[in-house]
């Protein structure tokens, strides 16, 4: 078993044995504090926008989570590439964990975007280039996660998922390019999401948003990775136990 | 590699010609889609003619999906996949061969659908050069990506549902590009269409490379 669970640093890299560690706990506390600071600046200290009013506050979580949805997608592609190259289970699960968290952040971005769109544009959805690309990213990630969910051997599933994961990045680039042309060649130019210049306390709140949301992203990916790793261990252990039981039956007879 | 590709393509096309599944099922399905669009969009209001490029490519994508699924379904029975693996053919060659056979089937389908929209929707056809270029690169893009994702889904119990979910979002840029290029050609402004042909060529190039390198690892297991 130990050779099969070899990480990027060889067979000695045995991986986590629980869902959390002291480091992740500290990271979790820091994340909570950062989220508290974000609430303080985003909802209380920062001023309302002249044009958008209080709705502008959605920006402090919307923009960072949109950025991180793309970061997660890149991380998945990197994890998939290293898995294909080194056959490292560790990196495969990094790809899996970041894809799942990226899908969550994409969904969060879409929901907050719609909630922001309603008061500012009057509608939940417009066929803006950025909205459409984000929706397409969501669908691409759901496709990747569907491959992760197939009932097949670990090797089959991981390899197929890695190919799909690796292609996420070129796909996202091509989709973004095509959607941008699509909306600019024939229609009015895209709507500006952030509008006028952001300054002072609003800029600082957005900065806090980036820190808090990035920390939450890292925390979630680490925990999702550890859970995925433990799941693999349980599966492998279950198989070992079953084999041992069958062998024991043979001995009794 | 190219010789292997030729062998596989010839084998697949021969299978299609003899079994007539593409002719007896996929082509009628494609025509059915055209008729269904006419039911959905009232033919008297001129909507059909205006929407021809989009409807045409949607019909190509949906009926093409059937052809792609079939391209791997024929390998699933009787352990043909193992035989292919043992045959000593280069995986990249198998990929290119499958792509070529899917592309040929798509081209036939597209010609028939082209006649279909011209007759049924009364669309007057202009801008031949751009139309043909669009058909060639869009077919290349659909078949290169379709074959790669086809093997990702091949041999799984959920393959029929997995392939559309994987493939259609990926092909969204091709749908946009081919539709816009067709619109440009039919509205007499072909210069607007050529950038899309370029984008689809880049797409096809990316997938040819991905397929040539990715097919080997994908064929090893399962």
Task: Give the residue-averaged pLDDT of A115-140.
Answer: 87
Question: So where are chain A's domains?
Answer: 57-186+202-239
| Distance from C-alpha of B112 to C-alpha of B105, rounded to nearest angstrom | 11
Chain B residue closest in CA terms to A168: B170
Q: Is the CB of B197 inside 8 Å of chain A's CB atoms?
A: no
Surface of A (174-203) touching B: CB under 8 A: 174-175, 177-179, 181-182, 185-186
Task: Give the residue-averaged pLDDT of A122-141.
Answer: 88
What spatial distance separates the first Cα and last Cα of chain B, rounded to whole Å?
A: 23
Q: Find the angle CA(A227)-CA(B214)-CA(A232) to the nearest 5 degrees.
A: 15
Q: Is the CB of B210 inside 8 Å of chain A's CB atoms?
A: yes
Lowest-confidence pick of A215-224, B4-13, B177-186:
B4-13
Q: Is the CB of A131 inside 8 Å of chain B's CB atoms?
A: no
Distance from CA of B205 to the nearest CA of A (A): 11
| Distance from C-alpha of A31 to C-alpha of A205, rounded to nearest angstrom | 15
Interface A–B counts its CB contacts (< 8 A) at 81
Q: Is the CB of A156 inside 8 Å of chain B's CB atoms?
A: yes
Contact flag A159-B218 (C-beta cutoff 8 Å): yes
More confident residue, B160 or A184: B160
Burial of A11 (0-12, 13-18, 19+ CB in 10 A): exposed
Query: A182: which chain B residues are within 8 Å (Cβ-Cβ)?
Result: 176, 180
Question: What's the pLDDT score for residue A252?
Answer: 60
Question: What's the pLDDT score for residue B203?
Answer: 93
- Written in H, E and C, the secondary structure of B128-193 is HHHHHHHHHHHHHHHHHHHHHHHHHHCCCCCHHHHHHHHHHHHHHHHHHHHHHHHHHHHCCCHHHC
Question: What's the pLDDT score for residue A76?
Answer: 95
Q: Is the CB of A7 inside 8 Å of chain B's CB atoms?
A: no
Residue B22 above 90 pLDDT?
no
Distance from CA of B75 to the nearest CA of A (A): 17
**pLDDT, tens digit (0-9, with 9 covering 90-100), for A64-94:** 999 999 999 999 999 999 998 888 889 999 9
3-class SS of residue A13: coil
* % of chain A with per-residue pLDDT over 90: 39
Distance from CA of B196 to the nearest CA of A (A): 8
Q: Closest partner residue to B169 among A136, A147, A170, by Cβ?
A: A136
Chain B residue closest in CA terms to A87: B217
Query: A159: which chain B residues are within 8 Å (Cβ-Cβ)?
Result: 217-218, 220-221
Scored b (16 or more CB within 10 A) or e, A192-219 reads ebeeeebeeebeebbebbbbbbbbbbeb
| Distance from C-alpha of B177 to C-alpha of B110, rounded to nearest angstrom | 16
Residue A197 above 90 pLDDT?
no
Q: Is the CB of B169 inside 8 Å of chain A's CB atoms?
A: yes
| Distance from C-alpha of B193 to C-alpha of A147, rounded to nearest angstrom | 35
Distance from CA of A167 to the nearest CA of B (A): 8
Q: Closest partner residue to B152 among A153, A163, A177, by Cβ?
A: A163
Distance from CA of B15 to the nearest CA of A (A): 27
Tokens of B39: 């039911």
**pLDDT, tens digit (0-9, with 9 covering 90-100), for B108-157:** 999 999 999 888 888 888 888 999 999 999 999 999 999 999 888 887 88
Scored b (16 or more CB within 10 A) or e, B155-164 reads bbeebeebbb
Contact flag B165-A153 (C-beta cutoff 8 Å): no
Query: B220: which chain A residues are within 8 Å (Cβ-Cβ)?
Result: 159
More confident residue, A67 or A183: A67
pLDDT class for A2, splitting at 50, 70, 90? very low
Scored b (16 or more CB within 10 A) or e, A68-87 reads bbbbbbebbbbbbbbbbeeb
Question: What's the pLDDT score for residue B75?
Answer: 77
Provide the greatest CA pair distance for chain B.
58
Contact flag A174-B218 (C-beta cutoff 8 Å): no
Contact flag B148-A163 (C-beta cutoff 8 Å): yes
Question: What's the pLDDT score for residue A11?
Answer: 37
* % of chain B with per-residue pLDDT over 70: 99
């Amino acid at each position: 078993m130990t050779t099969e669970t070899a990480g990027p640093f060889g067979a000695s890299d045995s991986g986590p044995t629980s869902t959390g560690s002291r480091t992740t706990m500290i990271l979790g506390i820091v994340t909570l504090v950062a989220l508290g600071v974000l609430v303080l600046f985003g909802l209380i200290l920062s001023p309302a926008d002249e044009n958008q009013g209080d709705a502008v506050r959605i920006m402090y979580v919307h923009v960072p989570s949109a950025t991180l949805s793309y970061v997660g997608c890149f991380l998945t592609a990197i994890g998939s590439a290293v898995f294909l190259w080194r056959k490292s289970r560790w990196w495969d699960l990094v790809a899996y964990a970041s894809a799942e968290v990226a899908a969550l952040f994409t969904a969060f971005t879409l929901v907050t975007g719609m909630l922001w769109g309603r008061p500012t544009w009057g509608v939940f959805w417009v066929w803006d280039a950025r909205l459409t690309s984000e929706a397409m990213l969501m669908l691409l990630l759901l496709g990747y996660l569907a491959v992760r969910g197939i009932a097949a051997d670990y090797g089959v599933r991981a390899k197929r998922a890695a190919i799909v994961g690796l292609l996420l990045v070129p796909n996202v680039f091509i989709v973004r390019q095509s959607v941008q042309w699509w909306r600019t060649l024939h229609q009015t130019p895209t709507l500006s999401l952030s509008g006028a210049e952001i300054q002072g306390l609003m800029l600082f709140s957005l900065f806090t948003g980036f820190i808090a949301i990035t920390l939450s992203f890292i925390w979630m990916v680490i925990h999702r990775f550890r859970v995925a790793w433990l799941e693999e261990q349980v599966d492998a252990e279950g198989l070992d136990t079953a084999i041992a039981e069958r062998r024991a039956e043979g001995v009794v007879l | 590699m190219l010789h292997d590709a030729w062998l596989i393509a010839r084998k697949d096309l021969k299978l299609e010609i003899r079994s007539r599944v593409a002719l007896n099922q996929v082509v009628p399905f494609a025509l059915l889609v055209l008729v269904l669009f006419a039911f959905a969009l009232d033919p008297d209001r001129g909507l059909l003619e205006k929407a021809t490029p989009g409807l045409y490519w949607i019909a190509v994508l949906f009926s093409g999906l059937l052809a792609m699924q079939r391209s791997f379904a024929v390998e699933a029975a009787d352990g043909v996949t193992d035989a292919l693996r043992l045959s000593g053919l280069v995986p990249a060659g198998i990929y290119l061969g499958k792509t070529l056979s899917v592309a040929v089937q798509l081209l036939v389908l597209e010609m028939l659908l082209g006649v279909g929209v011209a007759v049924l929707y009364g669309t007057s056809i202009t801008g031949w050069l751009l139309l043909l270029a669009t058909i060639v690169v869009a077919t290349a893009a659909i078949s290169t990506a379709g074959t790669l994702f086809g093997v990702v889904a091949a041999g799984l119990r959920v393959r029929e549902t997995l392939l559309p979910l994987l493939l259609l979002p990926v092909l969204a840029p091709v749908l946009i590009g081919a539709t816009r290029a067709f619109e440009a050609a039919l509205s007499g402004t072909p210069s607007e269409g050529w950038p899309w042909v370029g984008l689809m060529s880049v797409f096809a190039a990316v997938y040819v490379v991905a397929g040539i390198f990715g097919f080997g690892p994908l064929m090893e297991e399962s």
